[in-house]
Chains A and B, each alone.
Chain A
């Protein structure tokens, strides 16, 4: 079978296509964003007629895909774990109604967390929603489970979740490329109001029906190929005493695990040369109790490995022999990395007499020595030339003491410019601003409030908050940072554009139209690069919020993402340099915070890193002493060199 090295999310995309999926929807979010592009690529490669969309949010995505399933098509919806919070309403209802065509949710968790506001466990959500869930440890398993999820969903007519996680979705592994299912599935919705439009009376019956389905699925999971027992094949590495003990009694120690931590433990045990009984649970809910209880009965102690929470452990009824998150053996927050797992595992193996005490003297640790080097901290920052930076810089200059509500996206990094005070969840910039306004109004106080939200996030769930703010008479400045793309997650198109997911043309849902439709009476569009003009508009907007007939004032800050569209800069490059008068005061570094402004410690002067500088010229304003200046115009030769060197990767 042909093999290919792919990203975990591409493996999932492959699984969807091999299962013959007809409709795929989703909203981007790390670590799930590469699944839909993967499906689009396979659609082109195999000339399929799959319908694929980036929906405006996860709830919408789930419902669009679900309807296709009710019509008889195979359908899938992709999102990150917090996206499922948004989509939870239809999910819980759909578990009761059931489905027709296979209906699979791909939800990617983020233990760590690396790019999310929570470490929530989608498997606990699956239990809450009563939806069966698979938990792959590798891209290979993710592909197989995706295919199996459609079979299970169709057999029992339930939504099925494949819970991926960061280290599966962004793992890279070789997978086999198997044949595609090409079974035709005609759209043929069969009316059944007692199910598809069930009133509470019927909902009780549907709940009972769901419970019966889950009982059957539980039985099926007892022999699921994804629940795998590993039995020690040899005891060569074990001490003699231990062997005798094993024969007389139950094996002293075993592991039940799911997902990436299970694979991590397997490798650690392999390195240590220790073999113990292990049980991988790939089908986590409903938990195959008999399989698990039998495994536990034959061991003296059992360690449960899973992340980010205790979905498996909580389903075990007798936990008297169990180590895991609930007894504090495994930390209750953070990624279960190999470094975290190693000391836990070796301690338990030693306690069980399966591992000798360490003999070799420990090598010196790196920590202290590396600390002495004072390595530069490299947190995430807005890119050189990012229009958000100019917007935040000007917002701070215009309203130094304001309350800054912001949102989920690249612009969360406005914290670096001290122009972001809150970041809660998608769309909350607008509602936070509303609530903050009401809180201060109660005290009869005026507080300058500036909310910032991205274009995609505004359409995702900002619009409803804006309608609410206008309706209830809230007063604040809302800056919609419109960079014409969903930048953080990989440049997916937004509804404010005509480009659809697969590159075809759709209808534009204009942000200005949405703002006006919400009843906003002050709407301006401005380029944040034109700082003085942008500041003037900001001031006007703030005045409107205080006017007798004022309200919410909206400014759309239009500047394309510098990574996605560099033409405006390339057409008018402004090359800057720092004059020799620079006194190293660092004001520009703090106030403008551009990665291309770097401190030359030896000279105690700021320099421009022309390797990363995009010649936007925006930093000139940030030296109030006037030491950042425009260089003499570039010669044709220099310009050619600049264009030739590009800004991307060698790929």
Chain B
């Protein structure tokens, strides 16, 4: 079993925190995790990409064309990360659904059978007066997406274990609002589903 999730964003968006939450969640369910993250010069306002592999592998990097999920905290970074997705992979992106994807890229998305789930996590976070909680809102939204390997319950618990206690209240709210942002017809079924790792 192997599961590859690529997280993409910009320095300061909390990409590494999201990575740690997902890794912690996988470990708690008894899986090995390996990943790679970006530090140093490439972190100064630049693109931040973090690779997370769940299951038995020793290689930290996800090869292009093999990621099950891309979780992008920024629309431009989402486009940039698309080549990492496998055929029938899923893109979760922090952008208002009406602004994504660009029509020019639609034929490619169709050819690769990529499922796109967009959620304006920035607005959710801003409405909660905490712009930096967008990462947590997007994680909440991710749990409503088909085939996402973690349940909301498990992910919520992982966030609580990792985040600083003084952020708990904000994170709780942001996570719940992220889940509520899933408005499509399957939302109820998805929210109730208990998808776990394949």
Q: Do residues A3 and B80 form an inter-chain contact, with CB atoms below 8 A? A: no
Query: Closest approach, in angstroms, between the C-beta of B14 and any C-beta of chain A?
Result: 4
B35 cross-chain contacts in A, Cβ below 8 A: 171-173
Are B40 and A488 neighbours in the complex by a CB distance under 8 Å? yes
Answer whether A172 and B33 are a contact pair too, CB < 8 Å, given A338-B59, A595-B45: yes
* A378, B46: Cβ atoms closer than 8 Å: yes
Q: How far is the CA of A367 from the CA of B65 in the complex (A)?
A: 13
- Whether A651 touches B164, Cβ cut-off 8 Å, given contacts A338-B63, A370-B79, A373-B79, is yes
Which of B36, B43, B47 is A172 in contact with, Cβ under 8 Å? Answer: B36
Contact with B along A6-41 (1 / 0, CB 8 A): 010000000000000000000000110110000000
A5 interface neighbour in B27, B65, B105, Cβ under 8 Å:
B27
Q: With A and B bound together, what is the CA distance between A373 and B78 in angstroms?
A: 12
What residues of chain A lie closer than 8 Å to B42, measured between beta carbons? Answer: 114-115, 380
B59 touches A5 (CB 8 A): no
When A138-B58, A378-B46, A383-B44 are in contact, do A649 and B14 touch as well, CB less than 8 Å? yes
Contact A650 B39 (CB under 8 A): no
Query: A461 in the interface, Cβ–Cβ < 8 Å?
Result: no
User: Residue on A with the closest CB to B61?
Assistant: A338
Residues in A whose Cβ lies below 8 Å from that of B80: 370, 375
* B53 closest partner in A (C-beta): A267
Across the interface, do A172 and B34 meet the contact criterion of CB distance under 8 Å? yes
Cβ–Cβ contact A375 & B37, under 8 A: no
User: In the complex, are the beta carbons of B36 and A171 less than 8 A apart?
Assistant: yes
Is the beta-carbon distance between B34 and A114 smaller than 8 angstroms? no
- 14 A-B residue pairings within 8 Å (CB atoms): A5-B33, A30-B41, A167-B61, A170-B36, A173-B35, A174-B32, A263-B60, A271-B66, A338-B59, A369-B108, A412-B41, A647-B12, A647-B132, A651-B17
A-side contacts of B174, CB under 8 Å = 650
Proximity string of chain A (620-651) to chain B, C-beta cutoff 8 Å, 1 when within and 0 when not: 00000000000000000000010011111111
Contact with B along A154-182 (1 / 0, CB 8 A): 00000000000001101111100000000
Contact status B37-A172, CB under 8 Å: yes
**Does chain A have a CB within 8 A of B171?**
yes
Let me know if A380 and B44 touch, CB within 8 A: yes
| A498 / chain B contacts, CB cutoff of 8 Å | none
Q: Number of contacting residues on A, CB 8 A?
A: 65
Residues 15-28 of B, flagged 1 when their CB comes within 8 A of A and 0 if not, give 01101100110010
Contact indicator A268/B63 (Cβ below 8 Å): yes
Residues from chain B with a CB closer than 8 A to the CB of A138 are: 34, 58, 60
- Could you tell me which A residues sit within 8 Å of B by CB distance? 3-5, 7, 30-31, 33-34, 114-115, 137-138, 167-168, 170-174, 260, 263-264, 266-268, 270-271, 337-339, 342, 363-364, 366-367, 369-370, 372-373, 375-376, 378-383, 410, 412-413, 488-490, 595, 611-612, 641, 644-651
Judge whether B79 and A375 touch: CB under 8 Å: yes
4 additional A-B residue pairs with CB within 8 Å, beyond A260-B59, A260-B60, A338-B63: A363-B65, A381-B45, A612-B12, A647-B12
Q: Roughly how many angstroms separate A30 CA and B27 CA in the complex, as a whole number? A: 27
Q: How far is the CA of A369 from the CA of B111 in the complex (A)?
A: 12
Question: CB-CB < 8 A to B20: which residues of A?
Answer: 5, 172, 651
Residues in chain B within 8 A of chain A (CB atoms): 10, 12-14, 16-17, 19-20, 23-24, 27, 32-47, 52, 57-66, 76-77, 79-80, 82-83, 87, 102, 104-105, 107-108, 111-112, 129-133, 135-136, 162-164, 167, 170-171, 174
Question: How far is it, in angstroms, between the C-alpha of A263 and the C-alpha of B59 when the chains are bound?
Answer: 5
Once the chains bind, are A651 and B44 in contact (CB under 8 Å)?
A: no
**Contact indicator A167/B105 (Cβ below 8 Å):** no
Give, as a whole number of angstroms, the nearest-CB distance from A35 to chain B: 13
B residues in contact with A375, CB < 8 Å: 76, 79-80
Q: How near does chain A come to B42, taking the closest CB pair, in angstroms? A: 6
The complex places the Cα of A240 from the Cα of B46 at a distance, in Å, of: 51
Contacting pair A645 B46 (CB below 8 A): no
Q: How far is the CA of A370 from the CA of B83 in the complex (A)?
A: 9
CA distance A3 to B28 in the complex (A): 10
Query: Which residues of chain A are within 8 angstroms of B83 by Cβ–Cβ distance?
Result: 366-367, 370
Residues of chain A within 8 A of B41, CB atoms compared: 30, 114-115, 380, 412-413, 488
- Rank and list the top 6 A-B pairs by shortest CB-CB distance, nearest first: A30-B40, A338-B63, A263-B58, A115-B40, A651-B17, A171-B60
A168 to B36, CA, bound (A): 8
A644 (CB) vs chain B CBs: closest residue: B129
